[in-house]
């Protein structure tokens, strides 16, 4: 199921750095003007509108070589597939995973102006100890921690003590994806989709 959903979310893309950012939760649309709270964009003067969603979705049951793979969307056409990752059912499934990492951001570019829909939200879970994990699960966790880049130069995926040290160090920074935070991301993505659809009408 994981691979099936992800298969519809493909194609990574990188966007140029831009000079201005604004918060999407302040957006109101008027007659060809986009009011974002601190100012407004005259849409009649905009030549290019480009939405983007960037995300990394990794769960313990993935193959280790795919951990922390970055995905991207250049429009909202696959929004429903992405929203499914934040459904109450998927959040419940996540609680059964040994570890996971979710990272998502979303923007809409109006020429050289960037409207931020979601600003780099990250959620991750790791076990608090290795108790109850079999050898394969420990190996997968070690690969996950190594690819996260959070364990330092001394980390060795083949040395259990360094895995234990790393999870102990990271435990205080765990940020779980719960139903409330998932619902907020869904609301923000739907708002971004609505803003985009209204802007291009």
**Residue-wise pLDDT tens digits, 12-54:** 222 233 334 444 434 454 467 877 666 778 888 888 899 999 9
* 122 & 136 share domain: no
CB 9 within 8 A of CB 81: yes
Instruction: Identify the residue with better confidence: 181 or 22.
Output: 181
For the chain, what is the domain count? Answer: 2
Secondary structure E strands in the chain: 20-23, 28-29, 33-35, 40-42, 49-59, 70-73, 100-110, 113-125
* 8 & 60 share domain: yes
* 20 & 72 share domain: yes
* 122 & 132 share domain: no
* pTM of the model as a whole: 0.76
* 186 & 165 share domain: no
Range of the domain at 151: 127-173
- How far apart, in whole angstroms, are the C-alpha atoms of residue 2 and residue 94? 11
* 93 & 81 share domain: yes
With pLDDT > 90 as the criterion, what percentage of the chain qualifies?
A: 47
* 150 & 112 share domain: no
């Amino acid at each position: 199921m994981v691979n099936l959903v992800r298969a519809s979310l493909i194609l990574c893309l990188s966007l140029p750095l831009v000079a201005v950012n604004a918060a999407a939760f302040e957006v109101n649309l008027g007659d060809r003007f986009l009011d974002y709270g601190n100012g407004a964009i005259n849409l009649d003067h905009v030549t290019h509108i480009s939405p983007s969603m960037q995300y990394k979705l990794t769960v313990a049951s993935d193959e280790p070589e795919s951990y922390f793979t970055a995905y991207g969307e250049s429009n909202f056409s696959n929004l429903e597939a992405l929203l499914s990752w934040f459904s109450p059912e998927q959040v419940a499934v996540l609680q059964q995973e040994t570890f996971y990492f979710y990272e998502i951001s979303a923007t809409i570019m109006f020429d050289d102006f960037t409207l931020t829909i979601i600003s780099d939200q990250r959620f991750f879970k790791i076990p608090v100890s290795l108790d109850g994990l079999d050898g394969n699960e420990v190996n997968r966790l070690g690969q996950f921690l190594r690819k996260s880049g959070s364990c330092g130069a001394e980390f060795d995926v083949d040395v259990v003590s360094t895995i234990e040290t790393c999870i102990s160090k990271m435990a205080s920074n765990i940020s779980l994806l719960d139903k409330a935070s998932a619902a907020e991301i869904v609301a923000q993505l739907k708002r971004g989709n609505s803003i985009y659809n209204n802007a291009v009408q």
